[in-house]
A and B are shown apart, each in its own frame.
Chain A
Amino acid sequence: MRLRNVYHLSVKEFLHMIRDRRTLVFLLLMPTVLTVVFASAVGNSKVTGIKMRVVDLDHGKIAEEYLKDIGAAETFALEIKANATEADLTQAEEDLDRDKIKAIVVLPKDLTTNLMDGAGGEVKAIVDGSDTFAAPAVLRELGGVAVRHNMKLAAGFLLYEGIVKSEQQAKLRVAPVDLKIDVRYNPELKAQNFTMPGVIGLILQLLTVIVMATSIARERERGTFEQLSVTPLKGAEIFIGKLVPYFILSLIDTVNVMIVARVLFGVSLSGHYGVVTALVVVFVLGSLGIGQLISVVSKNQAQAVQLAIFYTMPVFVLSGAFAPLETLPGNVRPIAYLFPLTYFCRSFRAALLRQATFSDVGFDLLAMFAFAVLTFGLSVLLLRRQPTSR
């Protein structure tokens, strides 16, 4: 391999890039715009404003307290039917059927009276399970409300019966063990802090794979690849020469995206520069390698784009960019480790949020590097075997 040849190809590739202004602008803006979209839409893991109706058949004091507790949760957009009748309950169930509301809480008749008499009571929750995002959030929130409310009631009884002297003591009796929480690295539990490193990885991968996949396919489509093939250029020289301008472009995009994440979403990006740079460089190389592999096996640009999408789509879901790998079923999880993005998401997150060092991300770096070498080597081999080239 001669560096001089790589240089000539890079210059040519760079000229292609700046000649096609529209594509260049797109390549520079796309990552930034996608970052804004992903960060504002996917970043929020908290579900809010679920429509829920409370049907109060009890009309008593306890129901009133219960309502207050539910109303405090921002998960719900509450509609309260005070002084309700059986007809209101029927109406509510119909509304649930028509998807006007997602959940109903029924405070039964005589709830207050029964509890005062020392008998138990039952609050009924009807939840629309077809919405797998809203339903679990409703159940979690209602569970919390039930526990808090029971504690309040129990403490009230203790005080009322004279077993304890003060509210403070009552609280100790009812809930003697307190949970002390210490959240590190992302104390506000900001969802963007988790998703942002993954989003950066996704965008970088999308960009590099598609751009690289079309590069050789384009030459093949135009017939210029034939002309390249009769020159003394070697496959590896062609690949590296083509890679350099896109590699530089990807690095510029990375910086752009990280600035946007920082300025617009306040994502803390404070890793060791060396580690962060090494991770980005190795990851981008691996993605470009995949792009090249796709490019070698495609006959034209359309095929290349199809293959690129076919590769990037499953990776979206499997790599742990938006949701942790733990959300994948156990038998699917090993597949995730076939993609460099999986290693990148994990290590980049560690580097940005936990200031990981080289020894922390060593394995991930190695895995991604191996991937880059593998895809690159395979592309060169495949290119050599093709009849219309060397």
Chain B
Amino acid sequence: MADDVISTEALSRRFGTLEAVKNLTLTVKRGEIFGFLGPNGAGKTTTIKMLCGLIAPSDGKGTVVGYDIRTQRDEIKRATGYMAQHFSLYPDLTADENFRFFAGVYGIFGKEADQRLKELFERVDIMHKRKEQAGRLSGGLKQRLALACALVHKPQLVFLDEPTAGVDPAQRQKLWDLLYDLCQEGTSLFVTTHYLDEAERCHTVGFMLGGELIDKGAPHALRQTLRGKIIGVYSEQSVVAMRALKTLPQVSDVTIYGYELRVFMREASTPQAVEGALRRAAEKASVKIDRVYAVEPTLEDLFMAYERSSAATSAEAQAEAS
């Protein structure tokens, strides 16, 4: 489909016996910010590398910006940008020199490069630091410079591998504003992140776990799947209360946020329906519970739920095997 900037079918990648990505079927719409989530080792980076033509898939097929990821890697490289997880510009070269080098590599030089530099450096607000060595820039500025370099050839799609890792909140905000601007102009963005509050900013998110895409959708729609399954409990002895509540059969997990406990129920329910059971369990452990109330599920809750269910299935599989 012409509207899909990325489209894969049963994409797999093995490294020896390790199956880093299994049967990945994924579509990303043009003009979207797609958030690619998952714990470390879930296969996110391997997927990105396959999509931007750095490594070949072991199995399956796919297209990126309309080009085949197996046979048209050069075309993909020309039409996409990539911003690596770690700062990957030359620290001993100035911001200017870094930019001009990458411009040159994409065939942009002379007047055109000057113009592009002015345009992008002003956009990412780094013009005043252009003569400084890249290694001496602050974390946020480094990221913005890297973004400018990734945009030099006006790519249709930009891959950003954890673009805000180690950047302070104000700088993160600034970077996200830039990303929305880009998106507004029609550039598609494929972003991996660990920060789940950041994932909320994406139009669509996909969860990777153990090399598989386990869920995909708009953040609010995904969160709704947990509606009713999470009950908030306020207790000033939250640690003891957590231990007590975990013993209940209908509770699958409890996480602590200060004095608030987020209780994950096995079945969707309401605070009124479960309050009695929760209070009884607390009393048994002689802990005081102040309030039981409804809470809005977050992506973080979702993330925890996914990990928990995957751990449970692998435990079951092991039990069956033995």
Bound pair (A, B): yes
Assess whether B93 is in contact with A15, with CB atoms less than 8 Å apart.
Answer: yes
Q: How far, in whole Å, are A4 and B110 apart by their CA atoms in the complex?
A: 13
Say which residue of A9, A224, A226 sits within 8 Å of B54 (CB atoms).
A226
Q: Mark A1-32, 1 if CB is under 8 A from B, else 0.
A: 00011011101100110011000000000000
Assess whether A230 is in contact with B105, with CB atoms less than 8 Å apart.
Answer: no
| B52, B93, B105 pick with most chain A CB within 10 angstroms | B105
Cβ of B91 within 8 Å of any chain A Cβ, yes or no, is: yes
Assess whether A232 is in contact with B105, with CB atoms less than 8 Å apart.
Answer: yes
Given A16-B92, A231-B77, A388-B55, the answer on whether A223 and B86 have CB atoms closer than 8 Å is yes
Assess whether A12 is in contact with B97, with CB atoms less than 8 Å apart.
Answer: yes
Say which residue of A4, A12, A20, A232 sits within 8 Å of B74 (CB atoms).
A232
Q: Mark A155-173, 1 if CB is under 8 A from B, else 0.
A: 0000000000000000000
The interface size of chain B toward A, counting residues with CB under 8 Å, comes to: 32
Chain A residues within 8 Å of B52, by CB: 230
Given A12-B101, A15-B93, the answer on whether A4 and B88 have CB atoms closer than 8 Å is no
Question: A389 → chain B, closest Cβ, in Å?
Answer: 7
Cβ of A227 within 8 Å of any chain B Cβ, yes or no, is: yes
Q: How far, in whole Å, are A226 and B82 apart by their CA atoms in the complex?
A: 9
Cβ of A272 within 8 Å of any chain B Cβ, yes or no, is: no
Which 10 A-B residue pairings sit nearest by Cβ, starting from the closest? A8-B104, A230-B82, A227-B88, A19-B92, A223-B88, A231-B105, A12-B101, A223-B86, A232-B77, A387-B55
Say which residue of A4, A9, A20, A227 sits within 8 Å of B89 (CB atoms).
A227
Chain B residues within 8 Å of A390, by CB: 53-54, 73
Task: List CB contacts (< 8 Å) of A225-244 with chain B.
Answer: 226-227, 229-233
Cβ of A222 within 8 Å of any chain B Cβ, yes or no, is: yes
Assess whether B93 is in contact with A231, with CB atoms less than 8 Å apart.
Answer: no
Say which residue of A5, A12, A226 sits within 8 Å of B88 (CB atoms).
A226
Assess whether A389 is in contact with B54, with CB atoms less than 8 Å apart.
Answer: yes
For chain A, what secondary structure do more than half of its interface residues adopt (helix, strand, loop), or is it mixed? helix
Q: How far, in whole Å, are A232 and B90 apart by their CA atoms in the complex?
A: 18
Task: List CB contacts (< 8 Å) of B244-281 with chain A.
Answer: none
Q: How far, in whole Å, are A132 and B116 apart by their CA atoms in the complex?
A: 71
Question: B108 → chain A, closest Cβ, in Å?
Answer: 10
Q: How far, in whole Å, are A99 and B52 apart by their CA atoms in the complex?
A: 71
Given A16-B93, A226-B54, A390-B73, the answer on whether A8 and B101 have CB atoms closer than 8 Å is yes
Question: A324 → chain B, closest Cβ, in Å?
Answer: 44
Having A222-B91, A388-B54, A390-B53, one finds 11 other A-B pairs with CB under 8 Å, namely A8-B104, A8-B109, A9-B105, A15-B97, A20-B92, A222-B90, A223-B84, A227-B82, A230-B53, A387-B55, A389-B54
CB-nearest residue of chain A to B55: A387
In the assembled complex, 21 residue pairs joining A and B whose CB atoms fall closer than 8 Å, in A order, are A8-B101, A8-B109, A12-B90, A15-B92, A16-B90, A16-B92, A19-B93, A19-B133, A223-B84, A224-B88, A224-B90, A229-B54, A230-B52, A230-B77, A232-B77, A387-B15, A387-B54, A387-B55, A388-B55, A390-B54, A390-B73
Cβ of B36 within 8 Å of any chain A Cβ, yes or no, is: no
CB-nearest residue of chain B to A16: B92
Question: B182 → chain A, closest Cβ, in Å?
Answer: 18
Task: List CB contacts (< 8 Å) of B120-162 with chain A.
Answer: 133, 149
Chain B residues within 8 Å of A9, by CB: 105
Assess whether A222 is in contact with B107, with CB atoms less than 8 Å apart.
Answer: no
Q: How far, in whole Å, are A11 and B109 apart by their CA atoms in the complex?
A: 13
Question: B226 → chain A, closest Cβ, in Å?
Answer: 36
Question: B66 → chain A, closest Cβ, in Å?
Answer: 17
Question: B103 → chain A, closest Cβ, in Å?
Answer: 9
Q: How far, in whole Å, are A90 and B81 apart by their CA atoms in the complex?
A: 87
Q: Total number of A-B contacts with CB less than 8 angstroms?
A: 73
Task: List CB contacts (< 8 Å) of A125-150 with chain B.
Answer: none
Cβ of B87 within 8 Å of any chain A Cβ, yes or no, is: yes
Q: How far, in whole Å, are A97 and B149 apart by their CA atoms in the complex?
A: 74
Chain A residues within 8 Å of B93, by CB: 12, 15-16, 19
Q: How far, in whole Å, are A20 and B86 apart by their CA atoms in the complex?
A: 22
Cβ of B78 within 8 Å of any chain A Cβ, yes or no, is: yes
Chain B residues within 8 Å of A227, by CB: 82, 84, 88-89, 102, 149
Chain B residues within 8 Å of A388, by CB: 49, 54-55
| A15, A222, A227, A390 pick with most chain B CB within 10 angstroms | A227
Q: How far, in whole Å, are A332 and B151 apart by their CA atoms in the complex?
A: 57
Question: B44 → chain A, closest Cβ, in Å?
Answer: 15
Cβ of B106 within 8 Å of any chain A Cβ, yes or no, is: yes
Chain A residues within 8 Å of B91, by CB: 222
Chain B residues within 8 Å of A389, by CB: 54
Q: Mark B8-23, 1 if CB is under 8 A from A, else 0.
A: 0000000100000000
Task: List CB contacts (< 8 Å) of B184-201 with chain A.
Answer: none
Say which residue of A4, A7, A20, A223 sits within 8 Å of B87 (CB atoms).
A223
Q: How far, in whole Å, are A109 and B147 apart by their CA atoms in the complex?
A: 96
Question: B7 → chain A, closest Cβ, in Å?
Answer: 20
Task: List CB contacts (< 8 Å) of B279-300 with chain A.
Answer: none
CB-nearest residue of chain A to B73: A390
Q: How far, in whole Å, are A19 and B15 apart by their CA atoms in the complex?
A: 39
CB-nearest residue of chain A to B98: A12
Question: B209 → chain A, closest Cβ, in Å?
Answer: 23
Q: Mark A363-390, 1 if CB is under 8 A from B, else 0.
A: 0000000000000000000000001111
Q: How far, in whole Å, are A250 and B104 apart by their CA atoms in the complex?
A: 26
CB-nearest residue of chain B to A7: B104
Question: A140 → chain B, closest Cβ, in Å?
Answer: 57
Question: B118 → chain A, closest Cβ, in Å?
Answer: 20
Question: A18 → chain B, closest Cβ, in Å?
Answer: 10
Assess whether A231 is in contact with B102, with CB atoms less than 8 Å apart.
Answer: yes
